[in-house]
Amino acid sequence: MKITKYKNGLAAVAAVLALTACGQKVEVPPAHVGKIMTKDGYQEALIPTSKFRLSQCWAYCDRLVLLDVSDKAYEEAMTIFIPEDKLNLDVSIRATLSINPKKTAELFNAVAPTQVSGDISTIANEQVYRTYASQIIQSEVREYLSKRSIGEIASSNEKINADLRLQLGKAIETLTPFSVRFVGITNLKYPKIITEAQESAAERREAIQKEEAQLAISKAQLERELQEARLQRAIDKEKAETEAMSQSVLAQSVDARVLQLRKLENERAWIEKWNGQLPTTTLGDSVPMVNISK
């Protein structure tokens, strides 16, 4: 009986030891690479996306260290002093980056991992960005924009952004373990005094445009009235010339015979109206003599 219990105890211990020696299940998820950390440091090989078991262990167990190599979008908001204008300019830079596959191996030795479980530690993409790229982006943007005036930045925004994108991309690729997917200015916030001046200028331009439009309307109305006045004068002149010509023609048609005929017609009309009585007058006892001439 004692021997049986002893054998059962040995079997249980053997089972536990077997499970312990088997190693833990681990996984390298997509957009990650991994390395095995042993008691003597990292193994040389990079492990791609996969599932496997760690090596059996007794006193010291290996660990899986994961590095996030996925594409990540970062945004840097900063305030830059513009010496030429003696004003501050608020700017936001957006960068979409991924860790360069040729530089992943060196990151395992350069960045300390964070333990997340008993068998797994991670090096976060954000940790790599803050360590290397953030300061490069801020430094390059400050150096580039501080050499320009706010007016130049505002009037040549597309060119400024294109030049800065080229400069930032080159610096990030050279000085950090990242590859650049996109980098550029996403937001510019000009000083209040500048925006107020631009708004006032826009209001003045709008007022000038309104005045010019009203002037054009008034000019058109005056030109129309002037044309109407000229047309009326031409009509009046034409009428006067026509009337004068008519009178001239009429005057030329009336000669001495026509005048004599009208005189005779007038005398005839007077005779037809006479009733045959002579005019009478009283001058005492005398009778006046009246001569009727033909």
Q: How far apart are CA 50 and CA 26, in angstroms?
A: 9
Sequence spans of domains, the chain: 72-112+124-196
Place of tokens 């993409």: 125
Q: How many residues does the chain have?
A: 294
- Mean pLDDT over residues 149-171, rounded? 90
Q: How far apart are CA 116 and CA 127, in angstroms?
A: 15
The overall average pLDDT reported for the chain is 82
Please determine, for residue 16, whether its predicted confidence score (pLDDT) is greater than 50. no
Place of tokens 């960005």: 129
- Residue 58 confidence (pLDDT): 77
DSSP state of 286: B
7 or 111, higher pLDDT: 111
Q: Which listed CATH number (3.10.129.10, 3.40.50.300, 3.40.50.1820, 3.30.479.30) goes with 72-112+124-196?
A: 3.30.479.30
Closest CA to 184 of 168, 202, 203, 205: 168
Q: What are phi and psi of 180, to 5 degrees?
A: -100, 125
Each residue's pLDDT tens digit, 128-144: 999 999 999 999 999 99
Q: What are phi and psi of 123, to 5 degrees?
A: -115, 110
Answer for the pair 142, 93: CB distance below 8 angstroms, yes or no.
Answer: no
